[in-house]
Each structure stands twice: as structure tokens, then as C-alpha cells.
């Protein structure tokens, strides 16, 4: 009896140890630890880092960056990528601005239709990828220019500036003095994506198709359809990010994501890749992408506050991210040993 109890106790200890080890080894834990370290460092170097105002600003930046990261993550599932996320995001914002300012639609209908346009542009990407058999890098590199160029041609690079106050009111809304309301749409999309990949058949099929397309095809999955769906989702989520920027700026501006929407690319990749997404497809982590985008946002905000010099922020960001990846590797080796 004693022996049996001891055995069970031993088994329990091993289970708990394994569980803790698994958590410590997880990408999400590493990112969380790095975020904590970054917050501690910046709060000791910059007095205003933990002020209500800065936490509110940080929340807003995290909200947009995470949404941009999600728009890339849902395509990384397929082992592909979407270089046109920025162009689609701006197209959606401009469409929303046009529907409100020129067509006169109510803002909520304009938002819904604009997101449909984003999904449509994503569908074009997906259809071209599966139809041509070319890598999505080539296809989305081309459509990035086509979408952005088409938008500039149609709008003559003019901004839509007569947006209803509800956009800017929302972007300025905060709870408890420091939590930005912009986090709400991001959290909603995060939960929906989590449900998609964890609980729905379609989501699981997307992951399976991305991991082993040939095997998935042979087992009866409609891989091409699933890939198109991933691009549709990417377009819609990129559109949400574009609308969040519209809310922040109070206007739909062609240059809001830089030339061709390229300014989104770094942040679009960093969040999900730091979060543990497998670039060959088949595995993504919604929580990881959120934490990855949070780490990047904390680093860029903190560097600005400690006045590293605006021109050095990008370089420091890259360096610190490299350091973060190395530290993560060291942490894994340490835990494994």
C-alpha cells in the first residue's frame, strides 16, 4: 500500500515536473519572460514608462501591431506568406472612407462592406496562388503593387477626411485610465482565431493542409479551397487593421502604411514568427503572435522613451530581437539539461 502510494506520488511529481518543463520550454513562456524583463528595464530607465498615459498608448500600439501580425499568421499556416497585407489594409481603409464620404453610407455598413472588399482582395491572392502553382511570395509581391497602384489611381492619392467622430472617439476611448479600447477588436479576433484553430474542423484542416499538403490531399481534404480560405481570412484581418489605423488617424490616408503598404511587413512577420509560427506551415500560435507583437511594441515604445534616437530605434529593435531569439535558445538548452 505504502509502495503503491509512493509510486502514485512519484508519478504525480513527474507529471507536474513535465508540465512545468513543457510550459518553461514553450515559446509563449519565453516571450512572456522577455516582456517582463523589457518592462522592468524600461520602467527603471524611463520614468513615464508605467504611467497611465503610456500604458494606454502602448495598448493602442499593441492592438494594431497584433492585428497586423494576425493577418500574416493566418497565411503562414499554409506555408506561404502575404506580402500584400499592408496594401490590402490601406485599400480597405480607403474603401471605407469612400463609402462614407462619397457614397454616404452609415459607418457600420461601410465598415462591413470594406472588410468584405479586404476578404475579396485576399481571395484574389488565394485563387492566383492555387491556380498558378507559384509561391505566394511571387503572387503577393505582384498583387501588393497592383492593389496599391489601383487604389492610388482610383483615389488620385487623395485622403478621405470627413470621417464620423465615432472613429476617433473609439480610438481615444480608454478603460480604467490606461487600457485602450482598441484592444477590444484585437482580442475578439484573437479569440475567434483561437476557436478556429482549436475547436473547428475547418481550422484543424487548415493546419493539416499546411503541414503536409500532399498527405492532406490524399486523405480527402480540399487543400486548394482551404488555402484560398486562409488568404480570404488574411485579407479580412488586414482590413480590420487598416480600419483601426483609420480610427486612430480620423482619416483614410493612402500613405498610412507607407509606400505600397510596405511599412507593415516587418511587424506582420515579427509577431507570429516570434510567437512560434512554423514558416513551412502547419503550426501557429495565436497567443504567441499576440505576445510577439506585444514584445515588439514594448521594445519600440521603450526605446523611444529612453531617447535612443529615433533613427536608431529600428536598428536597436532588430538587435534586441536577435538577442531575444538567442536568449530563448539558451533558455531551452538550460531547461532541457
Return residues touching another protein (CB under 8 A): 46, 48-49, 51, 53-54, 57, 61, 157, 159, 161, 168, 171-172, 245, 248-251, 253-256, 258, 263, 300-301, 304-305, 307, 310-311, 313-314
Nearer to another protein, 169 or 217 (CB): 169
CA 323, 324, 329, 334 torsion-angle sign: positive
Rounded to an integer, what distance in angstroms lies between the CA atom of residue 320 and that of residue 270? 12
Q: How far apart are CA 44 and CA 253, in angstroms?
A: 37
Tell me whether residue 2 or residue 311 sits nearer to another protein (CB atom): 311
Least gap, CB of 249 to another protein (angstroms): 4
* Shortest Cβ 65–another protein spacing (Å): 11
- Three-state SS at 329: helix
Among residues 15 and 258, whose Cβ is nearest to another protein?
A: 258
Cβ count within 10 A of residue 337: 5
CA distance 97 to 251: 7
Smallest separation (angstroms) from another protein to the CB of 240: 16
Cβ nearer to another protein, comparing 75 with 256: 256
Do residues 335 and 24 make contact, with C-beta atoms less than 8 angstroms apart? yes
Instruction: Kindly tell me which of 26 and 249 has the beta carbon lying closer to another protein.
Output: 249
CB of 114 to another protein, least distance (A): 17
Query: What's the closest the beta carbon of residue 172 comes to another protein, in angstroms?
Result: 6
Q: What is the grid cell recorded at 157?
A: 492619392
Nearest-approach distance from CB 311 to another protein, in angstroms = 5
Residue 33 CB partners (closer than 8 Å, separation 6+): 331
Instruction: Please tell me whether residue 282 adopts helix, strand or coil conformation.
Output: coil
Residue (158 or 224) nearer to another protein, CB = 158
- Among positive and negative, which fits the CA dihedral 222, 83, 94, 127? negative
Amino acid at each position: 500500500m505504502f509502495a503503491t502510494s509512493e509510486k502514485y506520488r512519484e508519478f504525480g511529481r513527474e507529471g507536474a515536473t513535465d508540465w512545468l518543463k513543457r510550459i518553461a520550454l514553450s515559446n509563449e513562456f519565453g516571450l512572456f519572460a522577455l516582456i517582463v524583463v523589457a518592462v522592468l528595464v524600461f520602467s527603471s530607465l524611463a520614468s513615464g514608462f508605467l504611467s497611465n498615459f503610456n500604458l494606454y498608448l502602448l495598448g493602442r500600439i499593441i492592438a494594431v501591431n497584433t492585428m497586423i501580425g494576425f493577418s500574416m499568421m493566418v497565411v503562414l499556416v499554409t506555408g506561404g506568406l502575404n506580402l500584400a497585407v499592408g496594401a490590402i489594409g490601406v485599400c480597405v481603409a480607403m474603401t471605407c472612407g469612400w463609402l462614407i464620404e462619397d457614397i454616404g453610407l452609415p459607418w457600420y455598413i461601410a465598415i462591413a462592406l470594406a472588410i468584405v472588399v479586404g476578404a475579396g482582395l485576399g481571395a484574389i491572392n488565394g485563387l492566383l496562388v492555387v491556380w498558378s502553382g507559384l509561391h505566394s511570395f511571387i503572387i503577393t509581391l505582384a498583387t501588393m503593387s497592383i492593389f496599391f497602384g489601383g487604389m492610388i489611381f482610383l483615389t488620385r492619392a487623395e485622403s478621405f477626411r470627413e470621417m464620423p467622430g465615432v472613429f476617433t472617439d473609439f480610438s481615444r476611448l480608454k478603460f480604467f485610465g490606461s487600457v485602450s479600447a482598441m484592444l477590444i477588436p484585437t482580442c475578439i479576433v484573437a479569440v475567434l482565431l483561437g476557436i478556429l484553430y482549436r475547436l473547428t474542423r475547418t481550422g484543424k484542416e487548415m493546419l493539416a493542409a499546411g503541414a503536409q499538403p500532399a498527405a492532406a490531399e490524399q486523405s480527402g481534404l480540399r487543400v486548394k479551397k482551404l488555402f484560398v480560405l486562409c488568404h480570404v481570412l488574411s485579407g479580412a484581418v488586414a482590413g480590420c487593421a487598416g480600419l483601426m489605423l483609420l480610427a486612430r488617424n480620423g482619416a483614410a490616408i493612402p500613405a498610412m502604411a507607407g509606400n505600397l503598404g510596405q511599412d507593415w511587413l516587418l511587424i506582420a512577420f515579427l509577431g507570429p514568427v516570434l510567437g512560434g509560427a512554423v514558416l513551412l506551415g502547419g503550426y501557429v500560435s495565436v497567443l504567441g503572435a499576440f505576445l510577439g507583437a506585444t514584445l515588439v511594441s514594448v521594445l519600440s515604445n521603450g526605446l523611444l522613451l529612453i531617447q535612443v534616437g529615433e533613427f536608431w530605434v529600428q536598428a536597436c529593435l532588430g538587435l534586441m530581437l536577435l538577442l531575444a531569439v538567442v536568449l530563448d535558445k539558451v533558455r531551452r538548452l538550460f531547461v532541457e539539461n
